Amino acid sequence: MKIFALVKGTVRELASKAVLYVLAGISTFILIVAALAIGASSSDQGMTITFFGNPIGTPVPRETLSTMAGALEASLAGGLFFGVVVFGLFGTAGVIPDALEKGTVDIYLSKPIARWQLLAGKYLGSVAVIFLNIVYFIGAIWLVLGIKAGVWNTHFLLSALLMTYVFACLYAIVTFLGVVSRNMAIAIIGGFLYLFFIANPLEGREAGLYLLSGSGVYRGILDGLYYLLPQIPAMEAGAMRIVAGEGTTYVPFLQSFLSAGTLLGGAAWILYKRDF
Protein backbone atom coordinates (compact mmCIF):
# COMPACT_ATOMS: atom_id res chain seq x y z
CA MET A 1 0.00 0.00 0.00
CA LYS A 2 2.71 2.50 1.02
CA ILE A 3 5.08 1.29 -1.69
CA PHE A 4 2.23 1.61 -4.16
CA ALA A 5 1.66 5.19 -2.97
CA LEU A 6 5.38 5.89 -3.53
CA VAL A 7 5.25 4.30 -7.00
CA LYS A 8 2.20 6.40 -7.85
CA GLY A 9 3.90 9.52 -6.51
CA THR A 10 7.03 8.83 -8.54
CA VAL A 11 5.00 8.29 -11.73
CA ARG A 12 3.34 11.64 -11.09
CA GLU A 13 6.72 13.26 -10.41
CA LEU A 14 8.15 11.97 -13.68
CA ALA A 15 4.99 12.93 -15.54
CA SER A 16 5.83 16.52 -14.62
CA LYS A 17 9.22 16.34 -16.35
CA ALA A 18 9.59 17.47 -19.94
CA VAL A 19 12.34 15.01 -20.88
CA LEU A 20 10.01 12.02 -20.85
CA TYR A 21 7.51 13.90 -23.00
CA VAL A 22 10.33 14.35 -25.51
CA LEU A 23 10.78 10.57 -25.56
CA ALA A 24 7.03 10.03 -25.92
CA GLY A 25 6.95 12.71 -28.64
CA ILE A 26 9.74 11.06 -30.63
CA SER A 27 7.97 7.70 -30.24
CA THR A 28 4.72 9.23 -31.47
CA PHE A 29 6.45 10.80 -34.47
CA ILE A 30 8.03 7.46 -35.45
CA LEU A 31 4.68 5.73 -34.96
CA ILE A 32 2.87 8.20 -37.21
CA VAL A 33 5.54 7.85 -39.89
CA ALA A 34 5.40 4.06 -39.57
CA ALA A 35 1.61 4.01 -39.73
CA LEU A 36 1.62 6.18 -42.87
CA ALA A 37 4.62 4.58 -44.57
CA ILE A 38 4.66 0.87 -43.83
CA GLY A 39 2.54 -1.45 -45.93
CA ALA A 40 2.63 -4.77 -47.74
CA SER A 41 1.79 -5.73 -51.31
CA SER A 42 1.31 -9.14 -52.78
CA SER A 43 1.91 -10.29 -56.34
CA ASP A 44 2.32 -13.59 -58.16
CA GLN A 45 5.98 -13.65 -57.12
CA GLY A 46 5.18 -13.30 -53.43
CA MET A 47 4.89 -10.46 -50.90
CA THR A 48 6.92 -7.33 -50.26
CA ILE A 49 6.98 -4.78 -47.47
CA THR A 50 6.45 -1.30 -48.86
CA PHE A 51 7.67 2.04 -47.55
CA PHE A 52 5.48 4.91 -48.78
CA GLY A 53 4.23 2.53 -51.49
CA ASN A 54 7.74 1.61 -52.70
CA PRO A 55 8.60 -2.07 -52.29
CA ILE A 56 11.61 -2.84 -50.11
CA GLY A 57 13.54 -5.61 -51.86
CA THR A 58 12.14 -8.30 -54.10
CA PRO A 59 8.94 -10.24 -53.42
CA VAL A 60 9.38 -13.10 -50.96
CA PRO A 61 7.19 -15.91 -49.66
CA ARG A 62 4.93 -15.00 -46.71
CA GLU A 63 7.15 -16.87 -44.16
CA THR A 64 10.19 -14.91 -45.31
CA LEU A 65 8.19 -11.70 -45.04
CA SER A 66 7.64 -12.46 -41.35
CA THR A 67 11.39 -12.84 -40.91
CA MET A 68 11.98 -9.51 -42.67
CA ALA A 69 9.38 -7.86 -40.48
CA GLY A 70 11.06 -9.39 -37.43
CA ALA A 71 14.38 -7.84 -38.49
CA LEU A 72 12.65 -4.47 -38.97
CA GLU A 73 11.07 -4.78 -35.53
CA ALA A 74 14.42 -5.70 -33.99
CA SER A 75 16.04 -2.61 -35.46
CA LEU A 76 13.14 -0.44 -34.25
CA ALA A 77 13.42 -2.01 -30.80
CA GLY A 78 17.18 -1.34 -30.81
CA GLY A 79 16.56 2.29 -31.71
CA LEU A 80 13.90 2.57 -29.04
CA PHE A 81 16.25 1.10 -26.45
CA PHE A 82 18.84 3.76 -27.22
CA GLY A 83 16.16 6.46 -26.89
CA VAL A 84 14.88 4.97 -23.66
CA VAL A 85 18.35 4.84 -22.17
CA VAL A 86 19.26 8.40 -23.14
CA PHE A 87 15.98 10.11 -22.29
CA GLY A 88 14.98 7.65 -19.59
CA LEU A 89 18.20 8.07 -17.63
CA PHE A 90 18.03 11.85 -17.94
CA GLY A 91 14.43 11.81 -16.82
CA THR A 92 14.72 9.40 -13.93
CA ALA A 93 18.25 9.89 -12.56
CA GLY A 94 17.09 12.71 -10.28
CA VAL A 95 14.34 10.72 -8.60
CA ILE A 96 16.46 9.20 -5.82
CA PRO A 97 18.71 12.25 -5.12
CA ASP A 98 15.61 14.48 -5.02
CA ALA A 99 13.90 12.18 -2.53
CA LEU A 100 16.99 12.21 -0.32
CA GLU A 101 17.35 15.98 -0.33
CA LYS A 102 17.21 17.76 3.03
CA GLY A 103 13.66 18.90 3.72
CA THR A 104 12.15 16.15 1.57
CA VAL A 105 13.67 13.02 3.09
CA ASP A 106 12.73 14.25 6.57
CA ILE A 107 9.06 14.24 5.63
CA TYR A 108 9.22 10.85 3.93
CA LEU A 109 11.02 9.22 6.82
CA SER A 110 8.76 10.78 9.44
CA LYS A 111 6.03 8.57 8.01
CA PRO A 112 5.80 4.91 9.04
CA ILE A 113 7.77 3.66 6.06
CA ALA A 114 11.07 1.79 6.19
CA ARG A 115 13.97 3.26 4.25
CA TRP A 116 14.13 0.27 1.90
CA GLN A 117 10.45 0.88 1.10
CA LEU A 118 11.22 4.46 0.13
CA LEU A 119 13.99 3.24 -2.14
CA ALA A 120 11.87 0.44 -3.62
CA GLY A 121 8.92 2.77 -4.27
CA LYS A 122 11.08 5.35 -6.03
CA TYR A 123 12.94 2.69 -8.04
CA LEU A 124 9.80 0.84 -9.12
CA GLY A 125 8.04 4.11 -9.97
CA SER A 126 10.85 5.13 -12.31
CA VAL A 127 10.94 1.71 -13.96
CA ALA A 128 7.14 1.77 -14.31
CA VAL A 129 7.28 5.06 -16.22
CA ILE A 130 9.89 3.68 -18.61
CA PHE A 131 7.80 0.54 -19.02
CA LEU A 132 4.75 2.62 -19.97
CA ASN A 133 6.82 4.51 -22.57
CA ILE A 134 8.15 1.27 -24.04
CA VAL A 135 4.74 -0.43 -24.06
CA TYR A 136 3.27 2.58 -25.84
CA PHE A 137 5.84 2.42 -28.63
CA ILE A 138 6.20 -1.36 -28.96
CA GLY A 139 2.45 -1.98 -28.72
CA ALA A 140 1.68 0.63 -31.36
CA ILE A 141 4.41 -0.57 -33.77
CA TRP A 142 3.16 -4.14 -33.29
CA LEU A 143 -0.36 -3.01 -34.22
CA VAL A 144 0.90 -1.03 -37.23
CA LEU A 145 2.89 -3.97 -38.61
CA GLY A 146 0.04 -6.36 -37.85
CA ILE A 147 -2.67 -4.29 -39.47
CA LYS A 148 -0.73 -2.97 -42.43
CA ALA A 149 1.65 -5.86 -43.20
CA GLY A 150 -0.26 -8.72 -41.63
CA VAL A 151 2.71 -9.67 -39.44
CA TRP A 152 1.76 -10.44 -35.83
CA ASN A 153 5.09 -11.17 -34.12
CA THR A 154 4.47 -11.99 -30.44
CA HIS A 155 8.23 -12.00 -29.80
CA PHE A 156 8.19 -8.31 -30.52
CA LEU A 157 5.72 -7.76 -27.69
CA LEU A 158 8.05 -9.65 -25.40
CA SER A 159 10.75 -7.13 -26.22
CA ALA A 160 8.81 -4.53 -24.19
CA LEU A 161 9.37 -6.62 -21.09
CA LEU A 162 12.99 -7.36 -22.00
CA MET A 163 13.84 -3.72 -22.65
CA THR A 164 12.24 -2.69 -19.36
CA TYR A 165 14.24 -5.41 -17.65
CA VAL A 166 17.50 -4.20 -19.17
CA PHE A 167 16.68 -0.62 -18.18
CA ALA A 168 15.81 -1.78 -14.64
CA CYS A 169 19.24 -3.43 -14.33
CA LEU A 170 20.99 -0.30 -15.59
CA TYR A 171 18.85 1.85 -13.31
CA ALA A 172 20.09 -0.18 -10.32
CA ILE A 173 23.53 1.38 -10.95
CA VAL A 174 22.00 4.85 -11.18
CA THR A 175 20.03 4.21 -7.98
CA PHE A 176 23.15 3.04 -6.15
CA LEU A 177 25.08 6.12 -7.26
CA GLY A 178 22.11 8.34 -6.39
CA VAL A 179 22.00 6.98 -2.83
CA VAL A 180 25.75 7.21 -2.34
CA SER A 181 26.21 10.69 -3.80
CA ARG A 182 22.72 12.23 -3.40
CA ASN A 183 23.63 14.06 -6.57
CA MET A 184 21.72 13.79 -9.84
CA ALA A 185 24.68 14.73 -12.03
CA ILE A 186 26.87 12.00 -10.55
CA ALA A 187 24.07 9.44 -10.98
CA ILE A 188 23.57 10.40 -14.66
CA ILE A 189 27.25 10.59 -15.49
CA GLY A 190 27.89 7.29 -13.72
CA GLY A 191 25.06 5.59 -15.61
CA PHE A 192 26.23 6.82 -19.01
CA LEU A 193 29.87 6.17 -18.20
CA TYR A 194 29.04 2.60 -17.37
CA LEU A 195 26.83 2.12 -20.41
CA PHE A 196 29.10 3.64 -23.05
CA PHE A 197 32.62 3.25 -21.64
CA ILE A 198 32.63 0.33 -19.22
CA ALA A 199 29.94 -2.19 -20.16
CA ASN A 200 31.10 -2.81 -23.74
CA PRO A 201 34.83 -3.09 -22.96
CA LEU A 202 33.97 -5.49 -20.12
CA GLU A 203 31.75 -7.54 -22.45
CA GLY A 204 34.56 -7.85 -24.99
CA ARG A 205 37.35 -8.02 -22.40
CA GLU A 206 38.79 -11.28 -23.72
CA ALA A 207 39.55 -9.68 -27.07
CA GLY A 208 40.45 -6.26 -25.71
CA LEU A 209 41.27 -5.47 -22.09
CA TYR A 210 42.90 -8.88 -21.46
CA LEU A 211 45.58 -7.97 -23.99
CA LEU A 212 46.78 -5.06 -21.86
CA SER A 213 48.18 -7.34 -19.16
CA GLY A 214 48.65 -11.02 -18.59
CA SER A 215 48.32 -10.65 -14.80
CA GLY A 216 45.86 -13.05 -13.22
CA VAL A 217 44.87 -10.42 -10.65
CA TYR A 218 44.13 -7.92 -13.42
CA ARG A 219 42.01 -10.40 -15.32
CA GLY A 220 40.33 -11.47 -12.08
CA ILE A 221 39.35 -7.85 -11.39
CA LEU A 222 37.92 -7.51 -14.90
CA ASP A 223 35.97 -10.74 -14.53
CA GLY A 224 34.78 -9.70 -11.09
CA LEU A 225 33.51 -6.38 -12.41
CA TYR A 226 31.86 -8.11 -15.35
CA TYR A 227 29.92 -10.48 -13.13
CA LEU A 228 29.26 -7.89 -10.41
CA LEU A 229 27.73 -5.31 -12.75
CA PRO A 230 24.69 -5.76 -15.01
CA GLN A 231 25.63 -7.18 -18.42
CA ILE A 232 23.81 -4.63 -20.54
CA PRO A 233 25.33 -5.35 -24.00
CA ALA A 234 24.83 -9.11 -23.63
CA MET A 235 21.21 -8.61 -22.58
CA GLU A 236 20.59 -6.11 -25.37
CA ALA A 237 21.94 -8.55 -27.96
CA GLY A 238 19.90 -11.36 -26.43
CA ALA A 239 16.75 -9.26 -26.55
CA MET A 240 17.30 -8.47 -30.24
CA ARG A 241 17.73 -12.17 -30.99
CA ILE A 242 14.50 -12.96 -29.16
CA VAL A 243 12.63 -10.28 -31.13
CA ALA A 244 14.00 -11.67 -34.38
CA GLY A 245 12.68 -15.08 -33.34
CA GLU A 246 16.11 -16.58 -32.74
CA GLY A 247 17.15 -18.53 -29.67
CA THR A 248 19.32 -16.94 -27.00
CA THR A 249 20.90 -17.69 -23.64
CA TYR A 250 19.25 -16.31 -20.52
CA VAL A 251 22.46 -16.41 -18.44
CA PRO A 252 23.24 -12.67 -18.82
CA PHE A 253 19.66 -11.89 -17.72
CA LEU A 254 20.05 -14.03 -14.63
CA GLN A 255 23.50 -12.67 -13.75
CA SER A 256 22.28 -9.12 -14.22
CA PHE A 257 19.33 -9.86 -11.97
CA LEU A 258 21.74 -10.89 -9.22
CA SER A 259 24.05 -7.92 -9.75
CA ALA A 260 21.12 -5.45 -9.84
CA GLY A 261 19.79 -7.06 -6.67
CA THR A 262 23.21 -6.67 -5.02
CA LEU A 263 23.43 -3.02 -6.06
CA LEU A 264 19.94 -2.28 -4.77
CA GLY A 265 20.62 -4.19 -1.57
CA GLY A 266 23.82 -2.20 -1.11
CA ALA A 267 21.97 1.04 -1.72
CA ALA A 268 19.30 0.05 0.83
CA TRP A 269 22.02 -0.77 3.39
CA ILE A 270 23.79 2.56 2.89
CA LEU A 271 20.47 4.35 3.19
CA TYR A 272 19.64 2.41 6.34
CA LYS A 273 22.89 3.43 8.01
CA ARG A 274 22.77 7.08 6.99
CA ASP A 275 21.92 9.98 9.29
CA PHE A 276 19.72 12.72 7.90
Partner 1 sequence: MLAIESESLSKTYSNGIFKPRRVAALTDFTLQVDTGQIFSLLGPNGAGKTTFIKMLLSLASPTSGRATVLGRRLPDVSVRKHVGYLPENHRYPGYLTGEQVIRYFGELAGVHPRTLAARIGPLLELVGMAQWRGMKVKRYSKGMLQRLGLAQALVNDPDVLFLDEPTDGVDPVGRKEIREILRDLKQKGKTIFLNSHLLSEVELVSDRVAVLDRGRLLKVGTVEELTTTGTAYDIGVAGDVPAAVFEEARAFVMGLTRAGDHLKAECRSSAELNRVIDLLRKHAVEITSIARVRSTLEESFISLITGEARP
* Shorter beta-carbon distance to partner 1: residue 124 or 160: 124
How far apart are CB 14 and partner 1 at their closest, in Å?
10
**DSSP string covering 13-59, please?**
HHHT-HHHHHHHHHHHHHHHHHHHHEEEEEETTEEEEEETTEEEEEE
Q: Does 106 bind partner 1 (CB under 8 A)?
A: yes
Q: Which helix (H) or strand (E) holds 207?
A: none
How far apart are CB 103 and partner 1 at their closest, in Å?
4
Tell me if 84 sits within 8 A of 195, measured CB to CB: no
* Candidate ranges 30-38, 109-117, 148-156, 257-265; the one touching partner 1 (CB under 8 A): 109-117
Name, in order, each residue with C-beta under 8 angstroms of 114's C-beta and a sequence gap of 6 or more. none
CA dihedral 267, 13, 92, 162 (to 10 degrees): 90
Q: Does 111 bind partner 1 (CB under 8 A)?
A: yes
* Shorter beta-carbon distance to partner 1: residue 114 or 132: 114
Q: Does 104 bind partner 1 (CB under 8 A)?
A: yes
Q: Does 13 bind partner 1 (CB under 8 A)?
A: yes
Cβ burial of 195 (10 Å; 0-12, 13-18, 19+) is buried
d(CA 231, CA 203): 7
How far apart are CB 173 and partner 1 at their closest, in Å?
23
d(CA 175, CA 123): 7
How far apart are CB 184 and partner 1 at their closest, in Å?
15
Binding residue count for partner 1, defined by CB under 8 A: 25
Which residue of 43, 58, 110, 154 would you call a contact of partner 1, by CB under 8 A? 110
How far apart are CB 111 and partner 1 at their closest, in Å?
4
How far apart are CB 273 and partner 1 at their closest, in Å?
8
Q: Does 18 bind partner 1 (CB under 8 A)?
A: no
Tell me if 230 sits within 8 A of 77, measured CB to CB: no
Give the footprint of partner 1 on this chain (CB under 8 A).
1-2, 5-6, 8-9, 12-13, 16, 101-114, 275-276
